[in-house]
């Protein structure tokens, strides 16, 4: 599905009672999406199945944040992150994501599971300027690998400057 979505400046919100759930295979292709996810992003289940989860990636999200997320879950650990997603119509919505690897009986990673909730507004206010700064750093580099590495360094520098590990920082925002 090669759909080009243009971001709008409209933010959409969902209920604090809602839980967005999706599952992906090892390559990040969607294998399950609950109805809340479908309703919020504007795609039906059939349209989402097999698509890369990045179908809802907002261009304001730095690649470095997803590197941190993927590195963590591919290492077999859970991760929490604030993410700005984009709906099919270009509107955006913020989530507090909890992503975990899914294991088989031999403890091999066979996919990933994500639950997303409404984030605390103060956390979004805190993280949005950081993401913009990391994105600017990524944009300074023409080469994709260099851009990702520079953005990731900036993200790690920020976390280190806070004097606590990322896992603690994400809950302190």
Give yes or no for a contact between 81 and 67, defined as CB atoms under 8 angstroms apart: no
What DSSP letter does each residue of 26-76 carry, written as one string?
TTSBEEEE-HHHHHHHT--HHHHTTSBGGGGB-TTS-HHHHHHHHHHHHTT
Q: What pLDDT is recorded for position 1? A: 55
Q: What is the CATH number of the domain that holds 40?
A: 3.30.450.20
Structural domain boundaries enclosing 65: 20-119
| Any domain includes 143 | no
What is the DSSP pairing of strand 109-117 with strand 79-86? unpaired
Give yes or no for a contact between 155 and 68, defined as CB atoms under 8 angstroms apart: yes
Reported as a pLDDT band with limits 50, 70 and 90, residue 2 is low
For the stretch 15-54, pLDDT in tens is 999 999 999 999 999 999 999 999 999 999 999 999 999 9
| Any domain includes 124 | no
For the stretch 90-146, pLDDT in tens is 999 999 999 999 999 999 999 999 999 999 999 999 999 999 999 999 999 999 999
Confidence check: pLDDT of 154 > 60: yes
Task: Please state the domain count of the chain.
Answer: 1
Confidence check: pLDDT of 12 > 90: yes
CA distance 167 to 173: 11
Q: What pLDDT is recorded for position 59? A: 97
């Amino acid at each position: 599905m090669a759909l080009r979505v243009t971001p709008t400046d409209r933010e959409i919100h969902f209920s604090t009672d809602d839980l967005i759930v999706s599952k992906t295979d090892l390559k990040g292709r969607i294998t399950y999406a609950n109805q809340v996810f479908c309703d919020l992003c504007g795609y039906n289940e059939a349209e989402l199945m097999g698509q890369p989860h990045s179908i809802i990636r907002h261009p304001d999200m730095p690649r470095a944040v997803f590197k941190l997320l993927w590195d963590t879950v591919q290492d077999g650990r859970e991760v929490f992150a604030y993410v700005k997603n984009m709906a099919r119509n270009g509107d955006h919505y913020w989530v507090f994501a909890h992503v975990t690897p899914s294991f088989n009986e031999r403890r091999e990673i066979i996919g990933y599971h994500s639950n997303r909730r409404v984030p605390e507004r103060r956390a979004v206010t805190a993280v949005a300027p950081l993401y913009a700064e990391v994105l600017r750093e990524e944009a300074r580099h023409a080469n994709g690998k260099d851009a990702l590495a520079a953005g990731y360094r900036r993200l790690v520098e920020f976390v280190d400057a806070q004097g606590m590990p990322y896992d603690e920082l994400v809950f302190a925002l």
